[in-house]
Amino acid sequence: MLDFALDERQHDFDAKTFLGRTGPLNGDDIIDRILEERVTADFVAAKMYRYFVREDVADAVKSELGRTFRDSGYQIKPLMKRILLSKDFYSAPSVATQIKSPVQLVVSTFKKMGLREIPTIPDFGRLTASLGQTLLEPPNVAGWAGGRSWVTASTLLQRGNLFREVLFPDVSSFRPPDRQVPGIYAEVGERLAKGMSITEATKGGDAESTMMADRDEDYNTRYGAYRGYVLAFERVKVVPRHPAEVSLARIVEAAHADTADKVVDHFVRRFLSVPLAEKDRAVLVDFLRKEVGSDDIRPGATLEASLRRLLYLVLSTPEYQLG
């Protein structure tokens, strides 16, 4: 853990004024002065409330939570206990009002599928990155804005189609991102494999870039980058790749869902946090009936594929974006 330290050689010991207090203030004095302001506790408490409960915070709720935070000496535990044990946390206006972040969306779906481990086909990082969230790479020190910022014109369709790759993985054409060499360096490897010299293998592009690449045979930049990838692949542990190990047919059987209506209702209860409109439910029921050719759901060679197509539709609904 890092501790605050005062560097007296660079500190200004002259009197200064901050939020109405004047004196030879140091870093601790500034923080203490900030914490004395009522708005500080209210602000932090409101942010916690928005993250765990819902976006709209009543002024009375914000003041009450801020008082709890201040009275505890700015301890997080009492504040969180007050939020999570409140009736408001479990009230109807607080249920399914938050738009899931990409990571929440993917992880919660895997849990609802009953998976014991995260599938690696498709790649988890690629799934969330396509929606604007790459773990350990926030856009700035404040992190991701969250909320409605997750849904844009470019991500809306992608969020609806996200789990197609999970339910219908293309294992044969999958290329793991941690074992891929960028095009120009992959070409170098292919040319070397054909017996070309380093100079011949690294030529390409415009004349200037080629000169920059092989101006010094002792350190050819394109060959050096290619070898860097090769060495990394040799030394870094390979991520085992496998699709989601899920059987929707077994899930349906365990739920005793033996009709199209029962299957749809089970999927809606299991995967959605908000009710589905009756007309949308009817569309899903009709879809499943046509898929299996009957209202009765019985084990068969094609049942799993039909159930996966149904689940894909359920996960494509706007209701599934809320958690």
293 band by pLDDT with thresholds 50, 70 and 90: very high
pLDDT at position 267, please? 98
Q: What global pTM score does this model have?
A: 0.78
Q: Does the structure show a pLDDT above 60 at 206?
A: no
> Cα(57)–Cα(171) distance, rounded to whole angstroms?
46
pLDDT at position 217, please? 53
Q: Does the structure show a pLDDT above 60 at 110?
A: yes
pLDDT per residue as tens digits for the range 207-235: 555 555 555 555 578 888 899 999 998 99
- Looking at the chain, the whole-number percentage of residues with pLDDT higher than 70 is 95
pLDDT at position 200, please? 83
pLDDT at position 205, please? 58
pLDDT per residue as tens digits for the range 37-87: 999 999 999 999 998 999 889 999 999 999 999 999 999 999 999 999 999
**Mean pLDDT rounded to a whole number for the chain:** 90
pLDDT per residue as tens digits for the range 244-266: 999 999 999 999 999 999 999 99
The residue behind tokens 């930049």 is: 221
181 band by pLDDT with thresholds 50, 70 and 90: confident
pLDDT per residue as tens digits for the range 21-32: 999 988 889 999
Q: What is the mean pLDDT of residues 297-305?
A: 93
pLDDT per residue as tens digits for the range 276-288: 999 999 999 999 9
Domain regions of the chain by residue span? 37-94, 102-167, 177-235, 248-321
From the number of C-beta atoms within 10 Å of its C-beta (0-12, 13-18, 19+), residue 109 rates as buried
Q: What is the mean pLDDT of residues 142-147?
A: 89
Nearest to 314 by CA among 101, 160, 169, 170: 160
Check the CA dihedral 247-250-251-257 and report its sign: positive
Q: What is the mean pLDDT of residues 117-144?
A: 94
User: For the CA atoms of 57, 86, 49, 28, what is the dihedral angle to 10 degrees?
Assistant: 120
pLDDT at position 218, please? 53
Q: For residue 26, give both structure tokens.
A: 């140091």
> Cα(287)–Cα(70) distance, rounded to whole angstroms?
55
pLDDT at position 199, please? 81
